Amino acid sequence: MNPAILELATRQYGITQSDLQSLTGGHFSYVFEFTKNGQDLVLRITPPNQDVDLLSTKAILAWMDYLGRHRAAVTRPVPSGDGNLIEIATIDSDMYLCVVYEKAHGALAETLSFDQWNGRLFEKLGRAVGRMHALARRYRTAEIALARPSWDQITNCFNPGYGLDPSQAAILKRKTEIMQFVQALPRLPGDYGLIHADLHLGNIMVDLPEKAVTILDFDDCCYGWYAMDIVMTLFDFLVVYPVEDKASFAGNFLADYLKGYRQETDLSRFSIEHLPHFLKLLEIGIYTQVYRSYLAGQADTWVKKYMAGRAERIERGLPYVELDLSDYSR
């Protein structure tokens, strides 16, 4: 990237370019790690982008900072030398957004082998999400401008911003049906609030020796049903890992996960009852997102695994996974 941008960014945090080590996985952002005063940190520099603006970034950082101050398992943003959670570096009228976060230790959840997961770790994961949702119920933004939108007002996995071609008429019909059903559900404070909204295994860090879980990347956070965060993680497990008996795995996962979740906050009967509907909305939403790349033969391994037989299952109205909901209600 432009060295002048790096110079402006590093100056704000009292470091030099030689302190930085480049990291992968920043999507369209540039990501670096460094150590300062014995603390491992990550610098993210986001170039001008239509999907990321200053106001939305401020709103996301305000939420992450609140979570971090209240002991949630997140990567808390770190202020610059001037005490700002976000700094702006401008070159040739282009505005780059610079943010520093605490570095999470461990490995991305999606890189763990299946035998490294167990009930204790599922419980830890559930407790981390439960803590986040408990804090969401109390969170109030200091400024109206920093309020995040609802899930159906922005593009995300539950609400893809584009459609399918006419050859997918049967799936389009299913998509319309489930979208209308979910949008009509009551948005009660106990069930609906600020959520992560992208809680797949690539956004969860696991430190196995410490038995610790850290939630990453809040760029898609929005208002939605808390159950949406729960189903996304379960959803991804069933794609990433070669689980033969998916219903049995889902049952065991949710039992352990909700045991941890309920140590921090309750999950209503309403949320439990609608887990299959949120799963179906997500299933069709992700199908919509990856359909074009899959059709063009440009799909990665995750997409190929997910899309195998997927169209037929959606057309037939089959559940994403069979769940015995009586096991989780109380």
Cα distance between residue 34 and residue 19, in whole Å:
6
Together in a domain, 316 and 290: yes
Single residue among 52, 83, 102 that ends a domain in this structure: 102
Final residue before a domain boundary, out of 102, 128, 147: 102
pLDDT at 92: 84
The answer to whether residues 170 and 241 belong to one domain is yes
pTM over cut 0.85: yes
The angle at the Cα of 274, spanning 268 to 276, to the nearest 5 degrees, equals 135
User: Do 88 and 126 fall within a single domain?
Assistant: no
Q: Which two tokens stand for residue 92?
A: 């040739």
Closest CA to 151 of 220, 250, 247, 80: 220
Residues 142 and 238: beta-carbon distance below 8 Å:
no
Long-range contacts of 76-81 (CB under 8 A, 24+ apart): 76/101, 76/102, 77/101, 78/41, 78/102, 80/12, 80/13, 81/12, 81/13, 81/14
- One domain for residues 235 and 277: yes
Percent of the chain with pLDDT over 90: 84
Question: CB count, 10 Å around CB of 201?
Answer: 21
**Average pLDDT over all residues of the chain:** 94
Output the pLDDT for position 105. Answer: 93
The whole-number pLDDT of residue 269 equals 94
One domain, residues 60 and 153:
no
Instruction: Please give the pLDDT value at position 50.
Output: 65
Q: Check whether residue 75 and residue 218 sit in a common domain.
A: no
What's the pLDDT at 93?
A: 83
State whether 151 and 219 are in the same domain: yes
pLDDT along the chain (330 residues), means of 10: 89 94 82 95 88 89 96 96 94 91 96 96 98 96 85 96 89 96 97 98 96 95 98 98 94 96 96 97 97 90 95 97 80
Verify that 57 and 179 share a domain, yes or no: no
Note whether 164 and 294 are within 8 A (CB): no
Q: Which of 217, 188, 63, 218 is nearest to 136 (CA)?
A: 63
Of 87, 102, 117, the position where a domain reaches its end is 102
State the residue range of the domain holding 138.
107-327
